[in-house]
Amino acid sequence: MDIKERLEKTLDKVNKEYFSNGDIPTIRLSKGQDKKNRRAIVFGTYHAQKNEIKIHPVLLQEEVEDFVLEFIIYHEMLHYEDRDELLIRKKGQLVHTSRFKQREKYFRQYEEAQEILKNILHGRELVKGSEESTENTEKIESSTNKKVVPKKTTSSLSGAALEEALTESLQRLEHIMIKYNMIEPKSKGAKRGTKKRNEEEQLAGNV
């Protein structure tokens, strides 16, 4: 099936399922200009004067689910139904009204289509046929935005480095204990056991 035939069959399917119009607009691919700001990509348009729907080529990629293309055509068919208003629309007049947005939600897979379109806009990887694809892409994006710094474990330290780390920890502990008067500071040239005696005396004084 070529592109033109696929677009026309999809348009016919959407029309029969949701609109049942005797006449329908023509449909073709747009030039598919992909701007640097992907959030500005136009997935589809309806030209009231030409009575023509244009579809962005990205929607025909293999990894994009068929219902996403159907949703965009459905969206443009809503504009087609409002074509008389569009032809007399004043410059700056709102097109996507609250009523339009409410009608848009009648599409059977509205939420899923919206999610996939957001993923396309953000350049996320799509996996066709996977129910977890949108959830996984959210996790991937979240994880890639974080700088991961591996934690050092004792097993990854050498003997000398481990001893140095332990010594430093003990020194910090001793500093804290001295600060809160839990022990007295060592005097220079103190003999072994002085620290222990100081602790015992301090404890005895607290009883």
Regarding predicted confidence, which is higher, 127 or 72?
A: 72
Query: CB burial class (10 A; 0-12, 13-18, 19+) of residue 19?
Result: middle
Amino acid at 7: L
Residue 123: predicted pLDDT: 83
Which structure tokens are listed for 159?
């003997």
pLDDT tens digits for range 159-201:
666 677 777 767 767 766 666 666 666 655 544 555 555 555 4
What is the pairing mode between strands 26-29 and 52-55?
parallel
Over the Cα atoms of the chain, what is R_g? 34
Which structure tokens are listed for 127?
């996996």
pLDDT at 204 over 90: no
Question: Where would I find the H helices in the chain?
Answer: 3-14, 66-81, 83-87, 98-104, 110-121, 133-144, 159-179, 194-206
Instruction: Record the pTM.
Output: 0.60
pLDDT tens digits for range 74-111:
999 999 999 999 999 888 889 999 999 999 999 999 99
Residue 134: predicted pLDDT: 40
Regarding predicted confidence, which is higher, 197 or 14?
A: 14
Mean pLDDT of 50-60: 96
* Residue among 133, 102, 101 nearest 115 (CA): 133
pLDDT at 10 over 50: yes
Q: Which domains are present in the chain? A: 3-144 (3.30.2010.10), 154-206 (no CATH)
Which structure tokens are listed for 70?
């159907």
Q: Which residues contact 110 (CB under 8 A, 6 or more apart)?
A: 71, 104
Cα–Cα dist 49/140, whole Å = 43
pLDDT tens digits for range 128-152:
765 444 444 343 333 334 443 444 4
Cα–Cα dist 79/1, whole Å = 27
Query: CB burial class (10 A; 0-12, 13-18, 19+) of residue 69?
Result: buried
Lowest mean pLDDT among 12-21, 25-34, 78-87: 25-34
